[in-house]
Structure 1
Amino acid sequence: MDLKQGKQDGQAIEHGGNLARAQQMFPDAPTPWIDLSTGINPHSYPYSPPPATAFSRLPEPADLACLKGEAARAYGAPSADHLAAAPGTHILLPLIIEAVFGPSAGAGRTAAILSPTYAEHARLARLCGFTVNETAHFEDMSSADLAIVVNPNNPDGRLFARDDLLALSRRLSSKGGLLLVDEAFMEVIAPSHSVVDGVHDGLIVLRSFGKFYGLAGVRLGFAVAPQPIAEWLSARLGPWAIPGPTLHVGREAFRDHAWQAQMCARLTQDAGRLDGLLATAGLNVCGGTSLFRYLRDRRAQAVFEHLGQAGILVRRFSEHPDVLRIGLPGVDGWERLEAALCAKMRHS
């Protein structure tokens, strides 16, 4: 790898949730900040306190097996043996690439990433040696060795048909390639759109825990893969990749089907309420999920600045200056957001 290129690829990427940076940009903004720059559920799962042994002892293998079983049932995976659990999905992509393509990984190979989407996917693919094509067209994906699709997509909420994804995975598999589907936001979409039950040599699925359950800080994610690959990933991650407190929280949340159903309904209601506030301010939603809304507007930068001065952080995209992604406020954030949007409308 060229050292200059490696250093460039290793540079930090702008993400949502950076309140320290927001404070630097808007030093006079009122606090506490309202962070709407992520797609994380503001209504966190109300887990019970982990037992003291979750902190004082190494995690037990039986607890990890139980977590994987609960996750497999929640996601509709073929079995717990098809899951590898990790401290977030970010760490899994390079391991998956090595498992499928070998130690040389992307050398001489191409990766197609349906974009715009998570910038980390392209960065990690480049670090693994792939030549990366970021494309807006699904039909461009089949010519690559590695294809990555986020479904539903972040930030625009595009949803790709299950049959199309499975057909693409079969085409890639026939030439030794792989389709990686990141279903980070699938919990708020009808389960019939997921491809998690169809994993095979040409298809691996990533699932995130923290976004829907509002617990991003517990760092928990899964690869759903053919059993040999899941076992290889688990071996590489080692026996204690998931901390004891995370095992406790994850098992409890996956079992709570009543909370999951009630939360899906609540998020749908909150997204409708947010759409109404944005429409009143003359901002029309053109995509998203019930965890975040996607706007295209020539005034996007001005809206970002105005809300930032009001202590409200939303997600902007330097490469797409007319785009904003806005997450849902928590219970205490609605009034401040409404007041800020109303003030923006009066001064537009």
Structure 2
Amino acid sequence: MSAPIAHGGGITAVAATFGGRPEDWLDLSTGINPCPVALPDIPARAWHRLPDRHLVDEARCAARDHYGSGEILPLPVPGTQSVIQLLPRLIAAGKPVGAMDDTVAVVSPTYGEYARAFASAGFAVDAVDNVAAIGIEHRLAVVVNPNNPDGRIWSTETLVALHDRMKAANGLLVVDEAFGDTDPALSLAARVQELSNLIIFRSFGKFFGLAGLRLGFAIARSDILARFEDWLGPWAVSGPALSIAASLLRSDVTSIRSRIDERCAGLHAALMGAGLRTAGGTALFTLVADARAGDIYTHLCRHHILVRKFDYAPEWLRFGLTPDGAADRRLIEALQRFER
């Protein structure tokens, strides 16, 4: 099994090195909305009872309307990480792992758990830098759109053409839209019914700022969703999470997008004022490229501010959004103290 991947977060560990109470740190290492929405009322029975089918159905219908998936009812899952780890099982069905064509393609660099899940299951992983490099030899292809961590975007036309190539070779296309809520026009959710070999993953917690719920949705044809549901087992998603999803996915999210845009502007102003060069990003995070990235990372940690560094790209730092103007000023002051 490959070594665990270091993700964003992990304040407890870094505070043990640089000091301070974890709750006093400014965590900019994730791509999560730092202004969580107010929780809707949760019926007491959602806490008291195992999640009944009607709770699942209500969440699925709300997700269908929110994501615009037509007749396809998205499947609630306990975080999209749970179904990422099921993908090797999905394509291994009926064929021994280790066959000549057990190769998958992951447009990279990107979220590292895709390559890790397939490699751990015995698949060869081609880390390609462009969808054009994906060929008939690949049984499954993964595209994160918008991409994490550089924010690269692939047009719907490009992804539909890739799907058609994959389908012609009896392969599957996975499009991870974890950061797609801030720009719904990028989503392929409305096309899933006609694109039968397409699987879409959507994150719930990033946009709504409720990552602790561990909730996501898979959107695909019914037989694929049925397999995921079977493999996850009964009651995979808690009743409170389903209840919250049904309420928030039916709400007007205009103010959430506006708040994210405001926080994104504050972050960009802070980074620009520090003379840092933006190399990409989405509305929920900004990627900075700087030869001094390692020193900047350590300097910010000494000021109890955590950003995301990358072992495969030592010149990169990813900055998540600050929650308010006071946090903007805290970041600006820390960056101003950095010795250039």
What band does the TM-score fall into relative to the shorter chain? over 0.9
Q: CA deviation at 1:222?
A: 1.2
In the alignment, which of 269, 272, 283 is matched to residue 279 of structure 1? Answer: 272
Q: Does 1:229 align with 2:220?
A: no
> How far apart, in 2, do the equivalents of 1:312 and 1:206 lie?
30
What letter corresponds to residue 129 of structure 1 in structure 2? Answer: G
Partner of 1:326, secondary structure, is strand
Q: TM-score, normalised by structure 2?
A: 0.93
Q: CA deviation at 1:243?
A: 0.4
Q: Does 1:193 align with 2:186?
A: yes
Q: Does 1:45 align with 2:37?
A: yes
C-alpha RMSD of matched pairs (Å): 1.8
In the alignment, which of 156, 161, 175 is matched to residue 155 of structure 2? Answer: 161
What letter corresponds to residue 14 of structure 1 in structure 2? Answer: A
1:52-100 CA distance string (max 9 Å, x none): 222221111011001000001111112353x222100111124344334
Are the equivalent residues in 1 in contact too, given 2:15–2:22 (CA < 8 A)?
no
In the alignment, which of 235, 243, 246 is matched to residue 248 of structure 1? Answer: 243
Q: CA deviation at 1:262?
A: 1.2
Q: CA deviation at 1:339?
A: 1.2
Q: Does 1:313 align with 2:306?
A: yes
> How far apart, in 2, do the equivalents of 1:341 and 1:30 lie?
20
Are the equivalent residues in 1 in contact too, given 2:72–2:221 (CA < 8 A)?
no
> How far apart, in 2, do the equivalents of 1:107 and 1:251 lie?
42
Are the equivalent residues in 2 in contact too, given 1:28–1:309 (CA < 8 A)?
no
In the alignment, what sits opposite 1:88? 79
In the alignment, what sits opposite 1:334? 328
Are the equivalent residues in 2 in contact too, given 1:31–1:311 (CA < 8 A)?
no
What letter corresponds to residue 196 of structure 1 in structure 2? Answer: A
In the alignment, which of 266, 272, 293 is matched to residue 300 of structure 1? Answer: 293
> How far apart, in 2, do the equivalents of 1:139 and 1:339 lie?
44
Q: CA deviation at 1:106?
A: 4.8
Are the equivalent residues in 2 in contact too, given 1:55–1:244 (CA < 8 A)?
yes
> How far apart, in 1, do the equivalents of 2:264 and 2:59 lie?
30
Are the equivalent residues in 1 in contact too, given 2:40–2:248 (CA < 8 A)?
no
For structure 2, the residue ranges without an aligned partner over 5 or more in a row are none
Between stretches 242-251 and 102-111, larger displacement belongs to 102-111
What letter corresponds to residue 8 of structure 2 in structure 1? Answer: G
Q: Does 1:21 align with 2:16?
A: no
Q: CA deviation at 1:31?
A: 6.1
Are the equivalent residues in 1 in contact too, given 2:270–2:328 (CA < 8 A)?
no
Q: Does 1:263 align with 2:256?
A: yes
Between stretches 155-164 and 72-81, larger displacement belongs to 72-81
Q: Does 1:64 align with 2:17?
A: no
Q: CA deviation at 1:101?
A: 4.1
1:242-287 CA distance string (max 9 Å, x none): 1011011111110111xx1111122122212211111111102121
Q: 1:30 to 1:127 in 2, by over 3 A?
A: closer
What letter corresponds to residue 39 of structure 1 in structure 2? Answer: G
In the alignment, what sits opposite 1:208? 203
Are the equivalent residues in 1 in contact too, given 2:266–2:328 (CA < 8 A)?
no
Q: 1:80 to 1:45 in 2, by over 3 A?
A: farther
For structure 1, the residue ranges without an aligned partner over 5 or more in a row are 1-5
1:168-195 CA distance string (max 9 Å, x none): 1111111111110000000011x22211
State how many pairs are aligned. 334
Are the equivalent residues in 2 in contact too, given 1:64–1:247 (CA < 8 A)?
yes
Partner of 1:99, secondary structure, is helix
Q: TM-score, normalised by structure 1?
A: 0.91
Are the equivalent residues in 2 in contact too, given 1:205–1:223 (CA < 8 A)?
yes
Partner of 1:50, secondary structure, is coil
* Identity value in percent: 37
In the alignment, which of 150, 160, 177 is matched to residue 144 of structure 2? Answer: 150
> How far apart, in 1, do the equivalents of 2:172 and 2:19 lie?
46
Are the equivalent residues in 1 in contact too, given 2:72–2:220 (CA < 8 A)?
no
Between stretches 84-93 and 327-336, larger displacement belongs to 327-336
Q: CA deviation at 1:29?
A: 8.3
